[in-house]
Structure 1
Amino acid sequence: MISLRFLTIPLIALCCFTGKSHAQIADSKTHYRQSIKGWQSTMNSDFMGRKSPLTESDLKNFQGLPFFRIAKHWRLEAQWERCDDSAWFGMPTSTDRLPMYRKYATLTMRHRGKALALIAYQSQSLMTKDGYEDHLFIPFADASNGHTSYGGGRYIDINKDLAKSLWVIDFNKSYNPYCAYSGRYSCPSIPSINRLHVAIGAGVKAPHPHD
């Protein structure tokens, strides 16, 4: 049997090389996990609140949203490039409503060796509201849709930071359109360009009635 002292050498060397101790790495993971738990808690509070998208009967039985296990490997850094074609257009929705959006940036990233690309959109109505000046909207579909996640795709919200060359895209914060919970909403449809061929097991799962 291989002695454990030989197995620990690479780990010690790695810590020295990165300048981080095991404790620092563990603290970083714990802090990240707590931040996502906080986001999940806020989501659950919103769903239990006065403006909940749930039907009255579903709200009575609501015990919290189903989430995938927190997976830090789905927190990706994306290179962004401003879209040349940024004319305003009517975004198709689940109804005949056509809210005005424009393509803002192309996001390119890698996950475990696979290249991924998404378009981030800017809402014409939101960009003039306080707190939403930098808001970008990423509707996306992936191979988990209709299985473990909602069949109609999911959304991510980010804030643009023009001073940075990389933007964080955290799929652990992906959420379902309100249309997943009730037919009384009008939700942006997923653009064909934002359909990924990988299964993203992060964020909010399919609602229980749609599993």
Structure 2
Amino acid sequence: MKPYIIFLFLVIPFFSFSQKSLASKKTLKQETKEIKEIKKFQKELNEEYLNPKETPLRGDNFTQFKKHPFFPIDLKYRVEAKFIKTENPTPFDLPTSSGKSKSYQEFGKATFELDGKSYTLTIYQSLDLMKMEKYKDHLFLPFRDATNTKETYGGGKYLDLKIPAGDSIILDFNQSYHPYCAYNAYDYNCPIVPEENKLPVEIKAGVMYQDIYHH
């Protein structure tokens, strides 16, 4: 066998292995970046609840609070959804936990797959917040799932988003949290999750619930 042929037999497997190794490192780097974002969210949420000027907790709930319980981080629940913007949305009043309402409009719909099945959630925009420079690109995704009343608050959870640049949007349920009224129903007025955003599956991601907060 000619020397250059032997050389090719030796180099090709090595080149293939190197390419796989680079791809693996790239994926690991990306996952690390995503996990860092989730850990940052968890840290900031804990800090907010430990801050007496920001926390919704009162009395013993505040003094006993150390940190939130979270589901284990699982990138399965970080999904890229197909986003379709709602054209000419009509403002509407979204009912809240106090019996009052808050003004929102439908911003668009996000369709994603989880365990091979497709689901669609509606994303909203607060008419009050969109007038503020700080929140002009803020979107609101309230949802319910099959963990509610068990591992999570019965009224559902929230996810904060930013207006996407294109026709896709990242939904990272690892960064989902409970509304303030889950911890303090007396001082806070929280939007109720619309029926269309009730998922028939378990979303084991984000903040969990503790018995001490049940009313």
TM range (shorter): 0.7 to 0.9
Aligned CA-pair RMSD: 2.0
> Does structure 1 residue 151 correspond to structure 2 residue 154?
yes
Deviations 1:4-31 (A, max 9, x none): xxxxxxxx969836x8433333232222
CA distance in 2, matches of 1:79, 1:192: 21
**Which residue is equivalent to 2:169?**
167
> Does structure 1 residue 179 correspond to structure 2 residue 181?
yes
CA distance in 2, matches of 1:27, 1:167: 21
- Compare the two structures and name the one with the higher helix fraction: 2
* Matched residue SS, 1:16: helix
Q: TM-score, normalised by structure 2?
A: 0.86
**Which residue is equivalent to 1:63?**
66
5+ long unaligned stretches in structure 1: 1-11
Alignment equivalent of 1:133, drawn from 133, 136, 144? 136
5+ long unaligned stretches in structure 2: 1-14
TM superposition shift of 1:210 = 4.9
Which has the greater radius of gyration?
A: 2
Aligned residues with identical type, % of pairs: 34
* Matched residue SS, 1:209: helix
CA distance in 2, matches of 1:100, 1:23: 46
> Does structure 1 residue 86 correspond to structure 2 residue 89?
yes
* Matched residue SS, 1:175: coil
**Which residue is equivalent to 2:55?**
52
Deviations 1:117-149 (A, max 9, x none): 100001000001112111110110001101111
Structure 1 runs of 4+ with >4 Å offset? 12-15
Q: TM-score, normalised by structure 1?
A: 0.87
> Does structure 1 residue 21 correspond to structure 2 residue 49?
no
**Which residue is equivalent to 2:194?**
191
Aligned residues: 198
Alignment equivalent of 1:116, drawn from 119, 140, 144? 119
TM superposition shift of 1:32 = 1.9
**Which residue is equivalent to 1:8?**
none
Deviations 1:82-129 (A, max 9, x none): 225721111100112211001110110111211011000010000011
CA distance in 2, matches of 1:113, 1:59: 41
